[in-house]
């Protein structure tokens, strides 16, 4: 079977992994999950008990969670090195360094903002301190990523890689949470524009909106979430 990625909408970080699958160019399938409703159910917990996305069902039917684990699974199958590098090279080391930073400190900085946004019932006395801490953390992590960006067109070189995919699904949260203007970090803003202009990223964001755009041909179709849970859930 082909690998199947369960991606979340709206504004899921997993959008970048859909783009990475397009860049990879190998056959795959997708399944959509509404993160505001379907992802919070007991049924979805059978697929991922942490009630998160992304989830990858591998080509041998195993369920794999966590962005970094899925990215490394894709890297191991990137025999033509379209989205990665020879693992013995300095380029691969930098790729892993960038992915690790984005997937931990950079993404995690938004956590207080998401907690404040999703708090039920609302508690303004707690939500506002969370927003203050969250904005401070997000700005600090953007400062650090800005300093890490080199002179190449994309994060790890002259072409998009897994690092760009891991970044682009999360980077747009800056505007969603109204933390700061993207141009406060000129290198990162320019990088984001280049990644967002990639056909694979435009394809992934269109899918996220529920559209059916033409892609590379690697996507073999969507599988209903209920079917994925029935076949592969615990």
Pick 4-83+200-232's CATH classification: 3.50.50.60, 3.40.30.10, 2.60.40.2700, 2.60.40.10.
3.40.30.10
What is the CATH architecture assignment of 90-159+161-197? Up-down Bundle (1.20)
Please list the pLDDT of the chain residue by residue as tens digits (234 residues). Answer: 999 999 999 999 999 999 999 999 999 999 999 999 999 999 999 999 999 999 999 999 999 999 999 999 999 999 999 999 999 999 999 999 999 999 999 999 999 999 999 999 999 999 999 999 999 999 999 999 999 999 999 999 999 999 999 999 999 999 999 999 999 999 999 999 999 999 999 999 999 999 999 999 999 999 999 999 999 999
Evaluate the CA torsion angle 43, 61, 162, 104 in order and state its sign. Answer: positive
Q: Where are the domains of the chain?
A: 4-83+200-232, 90-159+161-197
Give Cβ neighbours of residue 15 (< 8 Å, ≥ 6 apart).
7, 168, 169, 201, 204, 205, 208
Rounded to the nearest 5°, which phi and psi values hold at 22?
-65, -45
Residue pLDDT, tens place only, 195-208: 999 999 999 999 99
- pTM, entire model: 0.95
């Amino acid at each position: 079977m082909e690998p199947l990625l369960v991606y979340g909408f709206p504004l899921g970080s997993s959008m970048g992994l859909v783009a990475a699958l397009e860049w990879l160019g190998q056959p795959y399938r997708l399944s959509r999950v509404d993160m505001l409703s379907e992802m919070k159910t007991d049924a979805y917990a059978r697929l991922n008990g942490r009630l998160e996305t992304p989830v990858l069902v591998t080509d041998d039917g195993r369920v794999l969670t966590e962005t970094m684990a899925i990215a490394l699974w894709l890297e191991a199958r990137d025999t033509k090195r379209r989205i990665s590098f020879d693992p013995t090279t300095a380029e691969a080391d930098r790729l892993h360094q960038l992915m690790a930073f984005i997937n931990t400190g950079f993404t995690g900085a938004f956590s207080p903002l998401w907690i404040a946004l999703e708090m039920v019932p609302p508690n303004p006395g707690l939500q506002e301190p969370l927003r203050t801490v969250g904005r401070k953390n997000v700005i600090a992590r953007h400062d650090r990523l800005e300093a890490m960006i080199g002179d190449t067109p994309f994060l790890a070189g002259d072409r998009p890689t897994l690092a760009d995919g891991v970044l682009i699904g999360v980077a747009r949260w800056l505007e969603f949470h109204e933390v700061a203007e993207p141009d406060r970090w000129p290198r990162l803003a320019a990088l984001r524009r280049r990644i967002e202009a990639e056909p694979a990223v435009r394809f992934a964001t269109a899918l996220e909106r529920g559209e059916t755009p033409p892609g590379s041909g690697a996507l073999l179709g969507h599988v209903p979430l209920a079917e994925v849970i029935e076949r592969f859930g615990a």
